[in-house]
Every structure is written in structure tokens, then in C-alpha cells.
Amino acid sequence: MYAILETGGKQYRVEPGTTLDVELLDAEVGQTVELKPVRFISGDDGGTVGQPELDQAHVKATVVRNARTRSITIFKKKRRKGYRRTKGHRQDFTHIRIEEIVAG
């Protein structure tokens, strides 16, 4: 059984036991969160497609950690003009483990 859910503007294919990094969620480490909307659920009896989402379905996940990605460097330059700008960025994310898919 698997589901396709949307969080942080991105869609993920998840199964129970899967771990993944998603955009930062407002949750503490060890807390259980319900992720909605669920776009698709595949089970033993076939798949169910939401139009655009399944109303009663949700995915239960446990927060493993909140962290930040490696630093990336943004460098801008215009040749022969003396224009140079350097900036860094680190994105916040939440590492979660999928516990259960509730079809509703």
C-alpha cells in the first residue's frame, strides 16, 4: 500500500516505514503529525484517485529531526564592471518517518 501526498508544495510517494525530508513543519521531535492532502492511495483492491484530493484520507508520520541543509553559495558577477556579490543559503527541513496511511 502506498499513497501520494502533498506537503510544502511538493508531492511525495510514501509507504509505511519510509523516511523522507520535507519542508519545515511546525512540530517537535518525536511528535506525530497528520499530513494532508492525500492525492492518491493504492491498496489491495486497486487505487483511489482524489479529485483533487481524498477528503477523509491522511498520512500519520513521526518527526525524527528538524535540521538545515548544507550551505550553498550564490555568486553573481558582471564582467568588466567590478560587480561581484556572494550570498549563502541553508534551507530548513523536517526529517519524518511514515507510520500509517489512513484511507478514511
What per-residue confidence (pLDDT) applies to 44? 82
Instruction: Note the pLDDT of residue 43.
Output: 83
What's the pLDDT at 65?
97
**pTM, to two decimals:** 0.85
What pLDDT does 48 receive?
Answer: 87
pLDDT of 10 reads 96
Calpha distance 59→14 (Å, rounded): 9
Q: Is 4 left (phi over 0), alpha (psi -120 to 50) or beta?
A: beta
Could you tell me the residue ranges of all domains in the chain? 2-102
Q: Beta-strand (E) ranges in 15-91? A: 19-23, 32-35, 38-43, 46-54, 58-68, 72-78, 83-89
Q: What DSSP character marks residue 69?
A: -
Dist. CA 56–CA 44, nearest whole Å? 18
CA distance 65 to 39: 25
What pLDDT score was predicted for residue 46? 85
Residue 90: Cβ-neighbour burial (10 angstroms; 0-12, 13-18, 19+)? exposed
Given a cut of 70, the residues of the chain with pLDDT beneath it are none
